[in-house]
Amino acid sequence: MFECFSIQAPSAALDDALQHKIDNKTKPLGALGTLETLAYQLGRIQGTLHIDVSKPKMIVFAADHGVVAQGVSLFPQEVTPQMVMNFLHGGAAVSVFCAQHNVPLQVVDVGVNATLEDHPLLRKRKVALGSNDFSQEPAMTTQVLSQAIQAGVSEVDTAINDGVNLLMFGEMGIGNTCVSSCMMSALMGIDPLESAGRGTGLDASGVSRKAQVIAASLQRAEAHTGQSVAQWNAQTLAEQVGGFEVLALAGAMLQSAQRKTAFVVDGFICSVALLFAQKVAPNVSEYAIFAHQSNEKAHKLLLAHLNADPILSLDLRLGEGSGAILSYPLIQSAAVFLNTMASFESAGVSDGDNI
């Protein structure tokens, strides 16, 4: 199912020219810090010395999770469809920030456990009414997994075919921090006590409960598959402990990279989706821009594992793409400085070599 993803690293053909253009702006070397890194990365991805991020799009994938029955979330499952409607009616954080920055918002129902009313901003790609409780049985079948991945692929194809040149991703699903922590433990081989965090606001006993559920779920899955977690391939991992919106995110990231389009990774859950995508095709991370380091405990560990240098650190732990959209003005600034800031030569300013 993952054989269709063959992702090449961005071409190095313009590396020297990009670095020369950045270094010869009217500033000391490296003085614009992360903006220089962003400009260089975007130039490599787009294969140009004049980058364009003027047509962005935010895509939020939503789904429910059977493991919520184990008491791993502070909020009940009915909050998922309620929040989806809040997105659609413009009341959520990601909605107001997208409106602030004039970024189109698309919400995709991959597996919400409710029938949602039609809305211009809603795409219906439901594969099931939530995943199975993976503490008791596999989270999904092979067929449903394939459909979840394809939901992400199709959304990206639609966006890029419409001229989008920067993708931003978010998610919504009560219980998805538990799902993501479980996937992280499986992917990185770490103890659930390291991957489980507060999510929507659990106290210490709630976090401990979440870690216990993750540990028991992984043990159940190892017994079911007859393999240790370390032996699982991407398909087995997803079927056993995945979440529909996390896998749709992974499919979207893989397709973005395959089509040589930069994408912005939001917080913990989106970073886990990238970690999974990286297991499928390691070069996918070359196309990822990391928006922020969240307040979720394991996110710092995960970012270090991904060798990521996020743009922001604002103690966010909301999800839904909120950090990704907040980083967009700085991504725009990276493009503006590369494209329009004067060089030493054009401004008639002496550079360090001539002093």
Written as one string, the DSSP assignment of 247-271 is: HHHHHHHHHHHHTT--EEE-SHHHH
- Neighbour order of strands in the sheet with 122-124: 122-124, 105-111, 56-63, 166-172, 263-265, 288-290
Q: What are phi and psi of 103, to 5 degrees?
A: -110, 125
What is the rounded average pLDDT of the residues 266-274?
97
| Side-chain half-sphere CA neighbours of 326 within 13 A | 22
Whether 276 is covered by a domain: the verdict is: yes
Whether 9 is covered by a domain: the verdict is: no
Q: Are residues 217 and 165 in the same domain?
A: yes
pLDDT higher at 3 or 259: 259
pLDDT above 70 covers what percent of the chain? 99
What pLDDT, on a 0 to 100 scale, did the predictor assign at position 197? 84
Q: How many domains does the chain have?
A: 2
Q: Are residues 150 and 229 in the same domain?
A: yes
Q: Are residues 258 and 345 in the same domain?
A: no
Q: What are phi and psi of 237, to 5 degrees?
A: -60, -45
What is the C-alpha to C-alpha distance for residues 334 and 311, in angstroms, rounded to an integer?
Answer: 11
What pLDDT, on a 0 to 100 scale, did the predictor assign at position 6? 92
What pLDDT, on a 0 to 100 scale, did the predictor assign at position 348? 82
Are the C-beta atoms of residues 166 and 264 closer than 8 Å to each other? yes
**pLDDT tens string 96-142:** 999 999 999 999 999 999 999 999 999 999 999 999 999 999 999 99
Q: Are residues 22 and 95 in the same domain?
A: no
What is the rounded average pLDDT of the residues 183-196?
96
Is residue 3 pLDDT above 80, yes or no? yes
Task: Kindly name the residue from 137, 239, 320, 345 that is annotated as catalytic.
Answer: 320
Structure tokens that stand for 261 in this block: 């389009």
Are the C-beta atoms of residues 20 and 48 closer than 8 Å to each other? no
Are the C-beta atoms of residues 258 and 7 closer than 8 Å to each other? yes
- pLDDT band of 354, cuts 50, 70, 90: low
List Cβ neighbours of 217 (8 Å cut-off, separation of 6 or more). Answer: 67, 134, 135, 182, 241
What is the C-alpha to C-alpha distance for residues 317 and 293, in angstroms, rounded to an integer?
Answer: 9
Q: Are residues 187 and 75 in the same domain?
A: yes
Is residue 186 pLDDT above 50, yes or no? yes
Are the C-beta atoms of residues 132 and 63 closer than 8 Å to each other? no
Whether 284 is covered by a domain: the verdict is: yes
What is the rounded average pLDDT of the residues 232-245?
98
Q: Are residues 260 and 316 in the same domain?
A: yes
Domain span holding position 97: 56-328
CA 192 to chain CA centroid, nearest Å = 21
Q: What are phi and psi of 174, to 5 degrees?
A: -55, 130
* CATH number of the CATH domain containing 127: 3.40.50.10210
Angle (nearest 5°) at CA 313 between 261 and 308: 45
What is the rounded average pLDDT of the residues 231-254?
98
**Beta-bridge partner residues of 264:** 168, 289
Are the C-beta atoms of residues 111 and 244 closer than 8 Å to each other? yes
Whether 6 is covered by a domain: the verdict is: no
Whether 334 is covered by a domain: the verdict is: no
Q: Are residues 266 and 119 in the same domain?
A: yes
Q: Are residues 32 and 113 in the same domain?
A: no
Q: Give the helix/strand (H/E) hosting 168.
A: strand 166-172
Per the annotation, the verdict on 320 as an active-site residue is yes
What is the rounded average pLDDT of the residues 289-299?
94
Q: Are residues 112 and 183 in the same domain?
A: yes
Q: Are residues 132 and 45 in the same domain?
A: no
Whether 4 is covered by a domain: the verdict is: no
What pLDDT, on a 0 to 100 scale, did the predictor assign at position 32? 98
Q: Are residues 27 and 167 in the same domain?
A: no
What pLDDT, on a 0 to 100 scale, did the predictor assign at position 76? 93
Whether 223 is covered by a domain: the verdict is: yes
Residue 253: how many other CB atoms lie within 10 Å: 31
What is the rounded average pLDDT of the residues 258-270?
97
pLDDT higher at 60 or 349: 60
Is residue 206 pLDDT above 90, yes or no? no
Q: What are phi and psi of 223, to 5 degrees?
A: -65, -40
Are the C-beta atoms of residues 104 and 170 closer than 8 Å to each other? no
- pLDDT band of 87, cuts 50, 70, 90: very high
Whether 222 is covered by a domain: the verdict is: yes
What pLDDT, on a 0 to 100 scale, did the predictor assign at position 355? 45
Is residue 37 pLDDT above 50, yes or no? yes
* CATH number of the CATH domain containing 344: 1.10.1610.10
Closest to 299 measured CA to CA, from 263, 331, 275: 275
List Cβ neighbours of 170 (8 Å cut-off, separation of 6 or more). Answer: 58, 59, 60, 61, 94, 266, 270, 319, 320, 321, 322, 324
Q: Are residues 256 and 313 in the same domain?
A: yes
Count helices and strands (H / E) in the chain: 14, 6
Mean pLDDT of the chain: 96
pLDDT higher at 295 or 182: 182
What pLDDT, on a 0 to 100 scale, did the predictor assign at position 58? 98
pTM, two decimals, is 0.96
